[in-house]
Structure 1
Amino acid sequence: MTAPKRARSAQPTLDRVDRRILDHLADHGRSSIADLAEAVSISASSAQRRLRRLEGEEVVRGYRAVLDPEAVDRGLVVHLAVTLVDHTTNTVGRFERHVLDLSGLVSCHHVTGDIDYLIRMDVADVEALDVLLRRTLARVPGVARFTTMVATSAVVDRVTQV
Structure 2
Amino acid sequence: MESDAPSPLDRTDRRLLDEVQRDARLTTAQLADRVSLSTSPCWRRLKRLEEQGVIQGYHARLDAARLGWGVTAFVHIMMESHNAELGSQFEDAVMRIPEVVACHNVSGQYDFLLQVVARDLSSFGEFARSTIRTLPGVKEMNSSFSLKEVKAPRALPV
Query: Which TM-score bucket, shorter chain as reference?
Result: 0.7 to 0.9
Pairwise CA RMSD: 2.3
Indicate which of 94, 109, 112 corresponds to 1:114. Answer: 109
Q: How does 1:124-143 map to 2 (within 5 A)?
A: 124-143=119-138
Normalised TM-score (structure 1): 0.80
Residues 76 and 122, structure 1, Cα contact 8 Å, conserved in 2:
yes
> Helix, strand or coil: the match of 1:153?
coil
Cα offset, 1:103, TM superposition: 3.0
Q: Is the alpha carbon distance of 1:54 and 1:94 closer, same or farther for their aligned partners in structure 2, counting shifts above 3 Å?
A: closer
What's 2:152 paired with? Answer: 157
Q: Is the alpha carbon distance of 1:94 and 1:60 closer, same or farther for their aligned partners in structure 2, counting shifts above 3 Å?
A: closer
* Identical-residue share of aligned pairs (%): 31
State the distance in 2 between where 1:141 and 1:15 align.
44
Residues 79 and 120, structure 1, Cα contact 8 Å, conserved in 2:
yes
- The amino acid across from 1:34 in the alignment is A
What's 1:95 paired with? Answer: 90
Cα offset, 1:97, TM superposition: 2.8
Q: How does 1:50-129 map to 2 (within 5 A)?
A: 50-129=45-124
Deviations, residues 63-110 of structure 1 (Å, cap 9, x unaligned) = 122222134333322211111111113432332232223231211111
- The amino acid across from 1:31 in the alignment is L
Normalised TM-score (structure 2): 0.81
State the distance in 2 between where 1:9 and 1:89 align.
26
Note the residue ranges of structure 2 that are not aligned, 5 or more in a row. Answer: none
Matched residue pairs, number? 153
Deviations, residues 28-70 of structure 1 (Å, cap 9, x unaligned) = 1111223323433434443223222222333212212222213
Q: Is the alpha carbon distance of 1:27 and 1:76 closer, same or farther for their aligned partners in structure 2, counting shifts above 3 Å?
A: farther
What's 2:22 paired with? Answer: 27
Cα offset, 1:153, TM superposition: 1.7
State the distance in 2 between where 1:8 and 1:68 align.
40
